[in-house]
Amino acid sequence: MTEKQINLIKPAGDTTTQPSFNISSWDYGCCGLVHFDRANSRLRINFGDGKVAILTISDSKSLHAARDLILARSAVSKISHEFLRKKVLAAGNVLATSHLVPAFSKHHDHEQDRVFSSTEILDKERRHAHGMMQHLNDNSNSNSNSNTNNNNDFDSTNKPKPNTKSKSVEGYLTTKIDRQWIRSYFHFKFDSARNLPILSCRNSKASPNATFEIELHNACVFAGGSSSFRLQDGDGRDESNNYKKSVFAFGVQTNNSFFIFASDDAEEISRWVGCLSTVLIDDARNVMLASDSTLLSSHLFEVLKRDECVGLLSNAEIRVNINVCESFQTVDVDIVSEGTTSASATTPAPAPAKAPAKAPMPPPKPPPADDDSVSVKKSKRSSKNSRRTSQPRPPPMGKGSGEGSRSVSSSTIAEEAGEGESERSENITRLPPTPPRAPPRAVPQAAKFDPTEITMAPPRRGFLRLSASEKFFYVVDAAVKPPLLRSFQTEAESKDTSNQLEALVLNSETMVKYACDKRKPMRRSRK
Amino acid sequence: MITLVNPAFGTKILFAADEDDVELWLDCLDDTILADKLDDEAVKRKAAAMAL
């Protein structure tokens, strides 16, 4: 039996009820599907290759937090390394291969209560992929597959919103099915007859029949800030496809599978992401890549650290460690709040006895040396970070936990989360190794905190493009509450705010993501 | 390319003229959001202090 039921522990005295969503450490991010069982306050994580963990969380808000963390992180993991069998690495610039991800319901045989082996899973994947291609227009096949998987496992917030059923998008995309990249004409729309959102694939726009369909009920779309994808084959070599230049991509996770759709046209991807993310999800956090949340939170953390106000927001940083030993006999999970004592350090985990200290999964390979865009991109953002505060960045979360079994992967995670930027950056001075973090303060020091000390960038106004043909004048209006990014047809209209086209709210729920275009020569960071 | 995500409007992708322009926009957006978040926290702290 490979399932272990464990409890998520909150530190003694931690009364936080609404933690923010920052992932600072993730020792093993190979999440397949996360089943959100609201009724039983449980998260059931299928690691995709036969390992299943059940996380029982005592209070529902922490459950939501953990769910969001895992969902966000699993997207990164899928696109990045583990799920793609270490073929790729994510660190700013994501190298990606697409792959049909094993499905929980497909691989776990409830009747026999056993977990399939990796070989069986691969066989099933192949059969499934072939089946998708062979059962052309067999809508009932995919529908029945998905419908049988619902069973209250997924959060209902992912269901399509009624007012978005009229939205559709279509165009040429490239995806990988059964180890083959295919460029096809995809059309997404809400099928009123079946009351389901359907992504259909045709060989070309003129083809009358769909070659296959993907039912996107309960699906999530993942779009990253790092959108320059490079496609690789299973041996890590660049694939000889049409994408010698930048490739942009987004991911779609259904109940059964995970697909990456790529295009060399960023605006094409933009159209798809814009539509799918609007239609398929209610919770925008599901499209948040962890690196982005980390970026935002790290700013906050830096400021608080600088002002010695760590602990002021006792729930500002939530660390989630999931450590899966190779024996898969033990899963340790703890959630701790920054500014409090680590739960694992003070309270023995209630999980079954720990397995002998086996090495965690090895870290992913470092990025290719020729991947300039990674370092350039990171250095640019790092330079921004460095000018916000004169102090070195705090050590990665989790490094001070003193848990040897996490030491290897925590550095990996730190790099993923942006903490390893200085090592790759040519513009950042190398700092001496940071000592383990001192025990965090338990008492907030609100009196020393003054948000006005933060050096803010000046207000921005100027032209931005939505697409090749749509160009508007944008103004960040921080004077109103919440601050807005407003668009106008012309600069003149922006001054009297007469014909405002759109107002995007820039409150704390907003995630800003960065993406570079490898086609354009990157300049050195400004000083 | 700048991506904005918010539950209120979903995902919005914007394109700036060049890398420097992207940087400036990102700085501004990040800072604005951060300032708003800190303002919120300040208000909450003040309210909590008042309650005590």
Q: Test B11 with A523 for CB contact under 8 angstroms.
A: no
Q: Test B1 with A509 for CB contact under 8 angstroms.
A: no
Strands (E), A139-237: 169-177, 180-191, 196-202, 212-215, 220-222, 230-231
pLDDT band at A477 (very low <50, low <70, confident <90, very high): confident
Q: Which helix (H) or strand (E) holds A502?
A: strand A500-505
| Interface predicted TM-score (ipTM) of this complex, two decimals | 0.88
* DSSP conformational letter for A509: T
Q: Test B14 with A474 for CB contact under 8 angstroms.
A: yes
Residue A185 has pLDDT above 90, yes or no: yes
**A517 or A117, higher pLDDT:** A517
Substitution target from B29, B39, B40 for chain A, most A beta carbons within 10 A: B29
Residue A157, CB half-sphere, CA atoms under 13 Å: how many?
A: 14
- CB atoms closer than 10 angstroms to residue A111: 5
pLDDT band at B20 (very low <50, low <70, confident <90, very high): confident
Query: Is the CB of residue A501 less than 8 Å away from at least one CB of chain B?
Result: no
Strands (E), A325-402: 331-337
Contact A53, A6 (CB under 8 A): yes
Closest residue in B to A478 (Cα–Cα): B32
Burial class (CB in 10 A: 0-12, 13-18, 19+), A170: middle
Phi, psi of A109 (to 5 degrees): -90, 105
Report the predicted TM-score, pTM, of the whole model to 2 decimal places.
0.33
Q: Which helix (H) or strand (E) holds A321?
A: strand A318-324
Most confidently predicted of A19-33, A212-226, A357-371, A485-499: A485-499
**A314 or A264, higher pLDDT:** A264
Residue A338 has pLDDT above 90, yes or no: no
The predicted pLDDT at position A202 comes to 92
User: Helix axis angle, A60-79 relative to A290-306, nearest 10°?
Assistant: 120
Q: Test B26 with A514 for CB contact under 8 angstroms.
A: yes
Contact A105, A255 (CB under 8 A): yes
Of B17, B29, B42, the CB nearest to A512: B29
CA distance A435 to A399: 9
Look at residue A42 and give its three-state secondary structure.
strand
Query: Is the CB of residue A515 less than 8 Å away from at least one CB of chain B?
Result: yes
- CB atoms closer than 10 angstroms to residue A168: 12
pLDDT in tens, A139-152: 223 333 333 233 22
Averaged pLDDT score across all residues of chain B = 78
Mean pLDDT of A78-107: 27
CA distance A116 to A47: 12
The predicted pLDDT at position A394 comes to 34
**A171 or A33, higher pLDDT:** A171
pLDDT band at A232 (very low <50, low <70, confident <90, very high): very low
Burial class (CB in 10 A: 0-12, 13-18, 19+), A407: middle
Q: Where are the alpha helices (DSSP H) in A372-508?
A: 372-388, 407-416, 421-424, 491-496
pLDDT band at A178 (very low <50, low <70, confident <90, very high): low
The predicted pLDDT at position A481 comes to 80
For residue A522, list chain B residues with Cβ-Cβ distance below 8 A.
19
Substitution target from A275, A449, A506 for chain B, most B beta carbons within 10 A: A506
Query: Is the CB of residue A312 less than 8 Å away from at least one CB of chain B?
Result: yes
For residue B27, list chain A residues with Cβ-Cβ distance below 8 A.
384, 457
pLDDT in tens, A394-426: 332 222 333 332 222 222 222 333 333 333 333
The predicted pLDDT at position A186 comes to 94
pLDDT band at A59 (very low <50, low <70, confident <90, very high): low
Phi, psi of B10 (to 5 degrees): 80, -135
Mean pLDDT of B20-28: 80
Q: Give the closest-approach CA distance of B52 to chain A in angstroms.
A: 14
Q: Test A313 with B41 for CB contact under 8 angstroms.
A: yes
The predicted pLDDT at position A458 comes to 61
Closest residue in A to B49 (Cα–Cα): A446
Residue B6's nearest CA partner among A262, A296, A182 is: A296
Contact A501, A358 (CB under 8 A): no
Q: Test B40 with A508 for CB contact under 8 angstroms.
A: yes
CA distance B33 to A235: 42
pLDDT band at B6 (very low <50, low <70, confident <90, very high): confident
Q: Which of A365-369, A455-459, B34-38, B41-45 bottoms out in mean pLDDT, i.e. has the lowest? A: A365-369
Q: Give the closest-approach CA distance of A190 to chain B in angstroms.
A: 18
Q: Test B35 with A460 for CB contact under 8 angstroms.
A: no
Residue A415's nearest CA partner among A375, A358, A380, A373 is: A375
- Tokens representing A232 are 């690789």
Using the CB atoms, write b or e for A213-235: b if 16+ within 10 Å: bbbbbbbbbbbbbbbbbbbbeee
- CB atoms closer than 10 angstroms to residue A524: 11
pLDDT band at A6 (very low <50, low <70, confident <90, very high): very low
Q: Which of A99-108, A212-221, A361-370, B41-50 bottoms out in mean pLDDT, i.e. has the lowest? A: A99-108
Averaged pLDDT score across all residues of chain A = 47
For residue A464, list chain B residues with Cβ-Cβ distance below 8 A.
2, 14-16, 25
Contact A416, A89 (CB under 8 A): no
For the four alpha carbons of A337, A340, A344 and A350, in that order, the dihedral sign comes to negative
Residue A484 has pLDDT above 70, yes or no: yes
Residue A514's nearest CA partner among B50, B19, B2, B49 is: B2
Mean pLDDT of A212-235: 55
Look at residue A120 and give its three-state secondary structure.
helix
Q: Give the closest-approach CA distance of A330 to chain B in angstroms.
A: 36
pLDDT in tens, A269-292: 778 877 776 666 433 333 323 223
Q: Which helix (H) or strand (E) holds A486?
A: strand A484-488
Q: Give the closest-approach CA distance of A514 to chain B in angstroms.
A: 5
Contact A199, A216 (CB under 8 A): yes
The predicted pLDDT at position A187 comes to 93
**A144 or A259, higher pLDDT:** A259
Q: Which of A115-124, A196-205, A232-241 bottoms out in mean pLDDT, i.e. has the lowest? A: A115-124
The predicted pLDDT at position B3 comes to 78
The predicted pLDDT at position A170 comes to 93
Q: Test B38 with A463 for CB contact under 8 angstroms.
A: no
